[in-house]
Structure 1
């Protein structure tokens, strides 16, 4: 959930020109700067991470956002993420350019392509690998995580792939790939109220997006510069917009702009996120780590309650990977604390 409280009744419309609000427009927007993180090690592809950050850990149920590329695979080596585990979340894979091969422990084998959502629901536990395909010249996209609410986080894992819902809103080309935007609804399975869409704008064009007043939103700029509530948002920055808007206007600058819109109702639950696990307590995450180390790495014995959590459904499905599964890092010396 959010760490800044806003009263949704204060604002009924959020556009660049006007808003019926007592508070200034600037107070509704917070700019989150990306930080660079090597994906899988110091020699791996570099990603730009905006969630979680020191300023904000979640936007609705969205708890993780990596943005990468465009990068020439010949120069960077592309994406080679060995089998690794997840719990308590959904992974959302979205590409602007390139192709990625996905394999997971429930037997899924799929290709991530531009305009198509790959959604993996980890539930009680899953493992998967991600590798850019040999024919990919340029890799460019985003990887996001959605925290599952408590009543859904222990469900059996699953995987699905869907073509986005593509519509025109004024001058904007909108691809909705998760949740609902106005009257349009994507096909993918969700467990809380969410939205995720790619929006492309020509220079100086604007789009008025219908959004839920009780939801918080984020706008990640992939290309160009945009204006949101009189705030300029530059490439790779994430603009957080507090609850209160029924419409949200995004205006492109001098160049064509491409953004990702994410949002949703605040989760209303504390989560504990460490490495690739989303749980609720220190002891729970410790048990997830022990299960992964035992099953995938052969280090120790898994807790009895978590035996066969990640990899035993279809042995070998994700593990035909050079170098084998990714070991979990060492736990910190202090107890992990849930995020607000």
Structure 2
């Protein structure tokens, strides 16, 4: 019997939306690994006491070539986008925004939110769909109970539940909760590579101990993932996975393209207020004198080249 290999991707702390904003733990993208399936971005934040800070306040900003996936554990966030969509993101309900050729949106924690806690993820749109229309999807998945815990499957299929939310490549995304001392052996698609983000608790995946904010990666070919909670508190995790994404991409700031020239064009169009991105209506930030939109940073002096992702095989030796 082959032993499942586990590669650990550690997080780095970055400010969200500017130096005065709250900090998040980012595990994707990293130099070590840029993608897990089509998942290309993973920010994990909280629990943050935002009653005494500015909380989340991200003014209108652009996206191309991707889908944003918002998932909360605590708190609430208002969402406005240039597709005319206005929503309140709440715990246990997934909100997925598809940029198509271009979109802009804002994200602000609500004034009654005291603690903000959740994840923000992006997926890459394949060539065949990246210039399609904007869209917005919302779904409240049914909680699935199993011996020792429960799950909320917000994208794809897992544990007998299939989310109706459309994706453009084969993907899975789920929140898992595991009681103290409990274990689960989850059947997974062997064509997928997977990542397990630890939000809270003391988790052992395939015999490897994991700490909160770490992302554990397993490559293709695995049919089951064996997870154990060896702590004294309920553990919570986010499981993501998908078929390896093999198209070359360039990811810079909030844009995903296929060439440096595309990124240059997207930036220039955003700065000029081009109709590619439309207009976000309804944004009200926490700071009355704050920015009404986020200008793009300057491009680097060097030419940006496509990201290269290692083979979909876990490398345990990379753990620091």
Shorter-chain TM-score above 0.5: yes
Task: Figure out how many residues of one structure are paired with residues of the other and give that number.
Answer: 303
2:85 aligned residue = 108
Note if contact 1:124-1:157 (Cα within 8 Å) is conserved in structure 2.
Answer: yes
Indicate yes or no: 2:264 matched with 1:286.
Answer: yes
> How far has the Cα of 1:285 moved from its partner?
0.8
Of 61, 66, 88, which residue of structure 2 is paired with 1:89? 66
Alignment of 1:171-182 (within 5 A): 171-182=148-159
Q: Does 1:203 align with 2:184?
A: no
The separation in 2 between residues aligned to 1:42 and 1:77, in whole angstroms, is: 11
In structure 2, distance between residues paired with 1:162 and 1:316: 22
Q: Is the 8 A contact 1:105 1:318 kept in 2?
A: no
SS in 2 for 1:196: strand
Aligned partners of 1:103 and 1:109 also within 8 Å: yes
SS at match of 1:57: coil
Which residue pairs with 2:221 in the alignment? 244
Q: Secondary structure at the match of 1:263?
A: strand
Say yes or no: does 1:230 pair with 2:207: yes
TM-fit CA distance, 1:109: 0.5
Structure 1: where are the runs of 5+ without partners?
1-19, 296-306
- Contact kept, 8 Å, 1:127 with 1:318, in 2: the verdict is no
Deviations 1:100-148 (A, max 9, x none): 0000001111000000001000110000000000110100000000001
Within the candidate set 294, 306, 317, 1:326 is matched to 294
Equivalent residues of 1:221, 1:237 under 8 A apart = yes
1:76: Cα distance to partner?
A: 2.5
Select the structure that is richer in helix: 1
- Measured after TM superposition, the shift of residue 270 of structure 1 is 1.1
- Residues 192, 242 of structure 2: 8 Å contact kept: yes
Query: Which shows bigger deviation, 60-69 or 165-174?
Result: 165-174
Displacement after TM superposition at 1:320 (Å): 5.3
In the superposition, the TM-score normalised over structure 1's length comes to: 0.87
Q: Once the 2 structures are TM-superposed, how far is the Cα of residue 75 of structure 1 from its aligned partner?
A: 2.6
Q: Distance in 2 between matches of 1:293 and 1:90?
A: 22
Which residue of 1 is the match for residue 144 of structure 2? 167
Deviation of 1:50 (Å): 0.3
Q: Residue 273 in 1 paired to residue 273 in 2?
A: no
Query: Equivalent residues in 2 for 1:136-151 (5 A)?
Result: 136-151=113-128
Note if 1:45 corresponds to 2:22: yes
Q: Distance in 2 between matches of 1:282 and 1:208?
A: 43
Secondary structure of the structure 2 residue equivalent to 1:288: helix
2:318 paired residue number = none
Structure 2 partner of 1:310: 277
Shift of 1:318: 5.1
Change over 3 Å in CA distance of 1:280–1:74 after alignment to 2: same
The answer as to whether partners of 1:319 and 1:325 remain within 8 angstroms in 2 is: no
Instruction: Give per-residue Cα distances to partners, 1:286-318, cap 9 Å, x unaligned.
Output: 1111110000xxxxxxxxxxx51002xxx4515
Q: Deviations over 1:272-294 (max 9, x none)?
A: 10000011110011111111000
Counterpart contact for 1:112–1:118, Cα < 8 Å: yes
- Mapped contact 1:73–1:138 kept (Cα < 8 A): yes
Q: CA RMSD in A?
A: 1.2
Q: Which 5+ residue runs of structure 2 have no aligned equivalent?
A: 309-320
The answer to whether 1:30 aligns with 2:7 is yes
Q: Name segments (4+ residues, structure 1) moved above 2 Å.
A: 318-322
User: Post-superposition shift, 1:165?
Assistant: 3.0
* Residue equivalent to 2:169: 192
Query: TM-score, structure 2 length as denominator?
Result: 0.92
Instruction: Describe the SS at the equivalent of 2:272.
Output: helix
Aligned partner of 2:48 among 67, 71, 92 = 71
**Structure 1 contact 95–141 (Cα < 8 Å) conserved:** yes
**CA distance in 1 between partners of 2:44 and 2:120 (Å):** 7
In 2, Cα distance between the equivalents of 1:145 and 1:318? Answer: 23
Structure 1 distance, partners of 2:7, 2:222, is 15
